[in-house]
Amino acid sequence: MHLAISLNIAATNGQDVLGFGQISAFVRKAEAAGVDMVVISDSSANDEPSTSPFEATTLVAGLATVTDRIGLVASASTLAHQPYNLARRFASLDIISHGRTGWNATTAQNPREAANFSRTEGFSDDDFSRRAREFINIVRLLWVGWEHDALLFDKASGRFHDPDRMHPANFTGEFFSVRGPLNIARSPQDRPLLVMSGLAETELDFASHRADVVLLDKREASAARAVRDEIKRKAHEAGRDPMTVEVLITADARQERDGGSLEGLCLSSGCDGIVLTVQPCPDALEDLAERMLPELKQLGFGQLGFGKAQPGKTLRDRLESGRDSRR
């Protein structure tokens, strides 16, 4: 079983913002406790005005320099970026972190965000969903544009790369046209992990085909189990090994008073692990780091297996998420 933490650093209603020292100290404590990954978001999820001390991917770059093992996932919307520059950014982060990064592809449309990117009216729900799927597919194609041994840098022969091992995306769709490939080498973990969260019922089919990790916001164990079973079934029907699609159930750290309740939630939901959401304030971070995480680590080597080291150094290795050869 896997344990993740979700931290939205956006401050609302006049809250003080967290500094890098506070965030990095918390993430290092989470790493020491055996947490598999931390998911960083930087904007309010409910369209409230908010202030964020950092942009999420920039923060992940900084955290990569002060950690060694924990996975670092940044949330980034498909509305605020172009597929090429976002794919390039995460490919670069994966090299900086030695294969420990992932992209949390947020699929919910935020009207406040749309107004900042020349879309004051936003998109219709259907257009936004089709655009997001196309965006994610392009990013995945760009991440595998180079085979691992494609870049030669052979000065003697004057060969920069092996053209037979280069695979341009050459994608033309309804919303985007992208040639590729990236001007960055292949990821140390083949592809950065694709994490998907906040999914509507209609998006489960796409997630089961594409996501490495799905974060469920359904708190009730029975509802989570039903969705988990559907995702695994659809993944199998798509030709994937269902065991390589990790489904984590969300729990609010404020409401969980002991590790035993999390153990029960994880077992009864049938999910592959827990993602604990924590509030962006020093007291909440301290309570989780100093009380709950040590308790979970103590519980961990029993039935759940929290904190057990996995072979390999990448986030994909840590989560036992296999490499997906499909383009």
| Per-residue pLDDT tens over the stretch 82-136 | 999 999 999 999 999 999 999 999 877 776 777 777 776 778 889 999 999 999 9
How many Cβ atoms from other residues are within 10 Å of residue 130's Cβ?
15
DSSP 240: -
Q: Give the residue-averaged pLDDT of 44-70.
A: 88
Supply the pLDDT for residue 302: 45
For the stretch 254-286, pLDDT in tens is: 887 677 788 888 889 999 999 999 999 999 999
Write out the DSSP string of 97-127: TTS-EEEEEE-S--HHHHTTTT-TT---HHH
For the stretch 89-102, pLDDT in tens is: 999 999 999 999 99
CATH number of the domain to which 217 belongs: 3.20.20.30
Nearest Cα to 188, choosing from 274, 112, 96? 96
CA 77 to CA 260: how far, in whole Å?
35
Q: With 50 as the cut, is the pLDDT of residue 246 above it?
A: yes
Q: Report the mean per-residue pLDDT for the chain.
A: 88
Structural domain of 290: 2-117+192-318
102 domain residue, yes or no? yes
Residue spans of alpha helices (H) in 172-254:
204-210, 221-237
42 domain residue, yes or no? yes
Query: Mean pLDDT lowest for which of 21-30, 52-61, 139-148, 290-299?
Result: 290-299
For the stretch 141-166, pLDDT in tens is: 999 998 888 876 777 777 777 888 88
| Percent of the chain whose pLDDT exceeds 90 | 59
135 domain residue, yes or no? no
133 domain residue, yes or no? no
Q: Give the residue-averaged pLDDT of 44-73.
A: 89
154 domain residue, yes or no? no
Supply the pLDDT for residue 209: 95
**Total number of domains in the chain:** 1
Name the pLDDT band for 218 (thresholds 50, 70, 90): confident
Supply the pLDDT for residue 169: 94
For the stretch 278-321, pLDDT in tens is: 999 999 999 999 988 888 877 764 455 666 666 678 999 999 88
Q: Which residue has the higher pLDDT, 325 or 192?
A: 192
Supply the pLDDT for residue 304: 59
Q: Scanning the structure block, which residue is given the tokens 């009380």?
A: 291
pTM: 0.93
Name the pLDDT band for 200 (thresholds 50, 70, 90): confident
272 domain residue, yes or no? yes
Give the Å distances, CA to CA, from 121 to 105, 109, 111, 116, 244.
22, 11, 8, 11, 38
CA 278 to CA 289: how far, in whole Å?
10
What ranges make up the beta strands (E) of 1-142? Answer: 2-8, 37-41, 71-77, 101-106
89 domain residue, yes or no? yes
Collapse the DSSP code of 79 into the 3-class scheme (helix H, G, I; strand E, B; otherwise coil) and give the result. Answer: coil
125 domain residue, yes or no? no
Q: With 70 as the cut, is the pLDDT of residue 45 above it?
A: no
Q: With 60 as the cut, is the pLDDT of residue 54 above it?
A: yes
